[in-house]
Each structure stands twice: as structure tokens, then as C-alpha cells.
């Protein structure tokens, strides 16, 4: 997913891009928005005006990106912020300074597309072993919730670091191929397992065979497949 999907939106790079530098991972935070529907700020919370209530509620280094009005209540103003989190957990979140009891629902990623004031699309690595694309909607109580797909698309052209086996289904009952180290593959998509932090991966071989694999992922370091490693908590 790239800018082509929402080419009519205005783009803005956010500050503090060096807060989480990881080799091979895009980390420049950016937002795409309709300038007629939002009020841009793009300042760290610590540099806001002294009377701004966000200064007392949020992390100093979080970035107040913009203010916007939810479609069902045009007189209401909500804040959209970006944060790196405590341990390289980049995310956006909506905040209501009049009712902070609603909590914050993190929209993980370093890039956010906002075609409407109640729909958000994110791209990036947030508590995940690969670049993940998500859709969120704004509820009537101003919380955001992900519309979870069955699969997450990767389309990652990469190679194996260790030998991996491919199977005909996610139950891993029937082996279809055994791939050696340094073998070029495409990681087509991922399917989230029940424990929410691990995935099955659909792999395409050079011959065009498709098969499911378990891929071991290290923390900030790939183990089985180049580019597939865990970032976040």
C-alpha cells in the first residue's frame, strides 16, 4: 500500500524521525490527509502552548499531528497524535482532551492515511515481524478499532537464511517442499495464529509453488527469512 491508493491526499512528514532507527526498516513517520477536513499542528507535546491541556496528559515527546472533527459531531474536536512508545512501538492514537477516560487505542505504524475523519489506514511495523497494513474506524465513543482481515499481505521478495519446510495447509500435515538456505522466495501473506503474536506465512518458491511455513523470528534480528524479525514488545 502506498501513496498511489490515496493520491488526492496531502502528505506531511512528522518530526523526530530518528527516534527509532533500525537497519532495513522504514522509520520516517508521515501522514496523508485532506487539508479541508483537519487542522494541522505537527508539534511535540512539550512545545505546545502552556495552556494546552494535552501537556499535562501525554508524553512530552509525542507529536500532536492535527485536530479533526468526527463526522457525526462536527462541533467536537479530537486530537490525533503520533508516538514512538517506550520501546520502538510507533503508533498513532486519537485523544479526547475533554474525556480522557475513553483511553487510547493504538493504531500501529509509521504512516497513516486519513481519507475521512472516521477512517484510518496505517502502514509500518508495530509489535509485528513484518511491515503490516491495517484499517481502523472511529466509533461513536471516539475509540478506534481495527477491521481485521483474514490475511495480511506482504509481497516481500527475500531469501531464506536457514532451511525451511513448506506445507500444503496451515495444519502442517503434508510437506510440499524443503527450501535450502540462501534460496530466493516471495513471502506472499501472513495469517495470524490464535496467540495473536505469531503468524503462518504463505511462501512462493522460484518454481511458483505455494506453501505454508512456520518462520522463526528473532527480536530485531532475522533467523529463518531475511527481513522477517520482531520489532516491539
What does the pLDDT look like over 46-73, one tens digit per residue?
999 988 888 888 888 899 999 999 999 9
In the block, which residue shows the cell 480522557?
100
Strand ranges inside 96-229, DSSP E: 107-108, 111-116, 119-124, 132-138, 144-146, 152-159, 164-167, 175-179, 184-192, 199-204, 210-214
Percentage above 70 pLDDT, the chain: 90
Q: Which pLDDT band holds residue 195 (cuts at 50, 70, 90)?
A: low
State residue 3's pLDDT score: 62
State residue 211's pLDDT score: 98
CB 124 within 8 A of CB 109: yes
| Cell digits of residue 189 | 501473506
H-type alpha helices, the chain: 54-57
- pTM surpassing 0.85? yes
CB 159 within 8 A of CB 180: no
Q: In the chain, where are the structural domains located?
A: 3-146, 152-214
What does the pLDDT look like over 71-122, one tens digit per residue?
999 999 999 999 988 777 889 999 987 776 555 688 999 999 999 999 999 9
Topology of the domain covering 152-214? SH3 type barrels. (2.30.30)
Amino acid at each position: 500500500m502506498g501513496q498511489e491508493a490515496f493520491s488526492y491526499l496531502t502528505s506531511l512528514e512528522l518530526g523526530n524521525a530518528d527516534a527509532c532507527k533500525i537497519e532495513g526498516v522504514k522509520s520516517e513517520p508521515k501522514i496523508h490527509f485532506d487539508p479541508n477536513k483537519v487542522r494541522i499542528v505537527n508539534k511535540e507535546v512539550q512545545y505546545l502552548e502552556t495552556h494546552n491541556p494535552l501537556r499535562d496528559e501525554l508524553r512530552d515527546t509525542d507529536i500532536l499531528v492535527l485536530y479533526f472533527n468526527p463526522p457525526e459531531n462536527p462541533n467536537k474536536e479530537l486530537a490525533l497524535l503520533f508516538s514512538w512508545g517506550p520501546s520502538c512501538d510507533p503508533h498513532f492514537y486519537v485523544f479526547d482532551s475533554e474525556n480522557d477516560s475513553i483511553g487510547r487505542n493504538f493504531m500501529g505504524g509509521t504512516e497513516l492515511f486519513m481519507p475521512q475523519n472516521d477512517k484510518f489506514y496505517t502502514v509500518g511495523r508495530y509489535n509485528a515481524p513484518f511491515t503490516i497494513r491495517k484499517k481502523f474506524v472511529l466509533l461513536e465513543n471516539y475509540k478506534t478499532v481495527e477491521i481485521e482481515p483474514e490475511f495480511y499481505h506482504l509481497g516481500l521478495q527475500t531469501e531464506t537464511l536457514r532451511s525451511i519446510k513448506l506445507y500444503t495447509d496451515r495444519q502442517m500435515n503434508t510437506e510440499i517442499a524443503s527450501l535450502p538456505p540462501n534460496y530466493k522466495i516471495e513471502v506472499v501473506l501472513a495469517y495470524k495464529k490464535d496467540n495473536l503474536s505469531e503468524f503462518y506465512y504463505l511462501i512462493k518458491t522460484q518454481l511458483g509453488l505455494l506453501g505454508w511455513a512456520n518462520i522463526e523470528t528473532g527480536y530485531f534480528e532475522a533467523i529463518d527469512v531475511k527481513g522477517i524479525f520482531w520489532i516491539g514488545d
